[in-house]
Amino acid sequence: MKRIVMPGGSGYLGMRLAARLAARGDEVTVLTRGAERVDERGIRHVHWDGRTRGPWEAVLEGADAVVHLAGKRVDCRPTRANVDGFIRSRVESVSVVGEAVRACEHPPPVWVQCATLALFGDTGDQVLTEATVPDGLGPRQSTTVALAWEGAFHLATREVPRPVLLRIGVVLGDGDPAHDRLRRLVRLGLGGPIAGDLDLVDWRTQGIVGPQLSQQDVAVPGDDGAARVRDPSRADDTRADSRHLDRPRRGRGSERRIVVGAG
């Protein structure tokens, strides 16, 4: 049995991972802004604010691993205030966990950090690997957020024996927020290509929740791009949703129509 602490583990990916870890017999603690409780799966939820140290950090003492998933959701328009929130929620939560880990007498030896492939900006159909060096160019809501996030992680884990940085793309699965947005577009008849002929999505769900994250206690240090190298386009995905929901596809959606339709 492993003791796993999951800052920000109350979201879609975190809850699926926590359930899988608990099912295999691990002791899982989720740091959440919600109320403290133990749920029906035996997962303990401990309150924190994601910014400041407090009683929550006691759960880190003697833990086997941290799986850090905290950060403001990005399914909103990239206004300056929202992007500032993306950065602040990621940098502050990583930094404060780093402080708490360094204060432990027996700190967790493994830290798995969720990050994003948005670090590379818009690379089209270029194949990205762990050896690809980001050029730092791209929209503030993607590249700048990613650089700040990873910078905070490297500072926070400088004394952690096994830091693992997991860059992921859009997570699609049963009941996930991103897929709900795509289905909304399909129901509005906007299930075709979005504002262009090539609209690629990097995605993985089961591969993250299954063999990658749930076995990170045997992972080697380093960076891992967890999106598949060549994936279907978003148009392919919404085409499948169109068939499933029996909604006609009304051709290519303009950028303006998609923004309005996605809410």
CATH number of the domain bearing residue 82:
3.40.50.720
Straight-line distance from the first to the last Cα atom of the chain, in angstroms, rounded to the nearest whole number: 43
Domain count, the chain: 2
**Shared-domain flag, residues 38 and 138:** yes
pLDDT digits (tens, 9 = 90+) for 22-60: 999 999 999 999 999 999 999 999 999 999 999 999 999
pLDDT of residue 122: 79
What is the sign, positive or negative, of the torsion defined by CA atoms of 100, 102, 108, 113? positive
Q: What is the DSSP string of 63-123?
A: -SEEEE-------S---HHHHHHHHHHHHHHHHHHHHHHHT-SS--SEEEEEEEGGGG---
pLDDT digits (tens, 9 = 90+) for 195-247: 555 455 544 444 444 444 444 443 334 444 444 333 444 444 444 444 444 44
**Shared-domain flag, residues 11 and 136:** yes
**Shared-domain flag, residues 17 and 146:** yes
**Shared-domain flag, residues 148 and 239:** no
**Shared-domain flag, residues 105 and 176:** no
**Shared-domain flag, residues 132 and 193:** no
**Is pLDDT larger for residue 141 or for residue 126?**
141
Q: Which domain holds residue 103?
A: 3-168+203-229
**Shared-domain flag, residues 22 and 110:** yes
pLDDT of residue 253 exceeding 90, the answer is no
**Shared-domain flag, residues 75 and 188:** no
For residues 164-186, one letter each, b for 16 or more C-beta atoms within 10 angstroms of the residue's C-beta and e for the rest, the string is bbbbbbbbbbeebebbeebbebb
pLDDT of residue 131: 83
Mean pLDDT estimate for the chain: 78
**Shared-domain flag, residues 225 and 237:** no
**Shared-domain flag, residues 41 and 122:** yes
- Average the pLDDT over 85-112 and give the result: 97
Structure tokens at 121: 């900006």
pLDDT of residue 177 exceeding 90, the answer is no
Cα of 222 vs its chain's centroid, Å = 17
Confidence of residue 20 (pLDDT cuts 50, 70, 90): very high
Could you give the dihedral angle defined by the CA atoms of residues 130, 63, 67 and 224, in that order, rounded to the nearest 10 degrees? 10
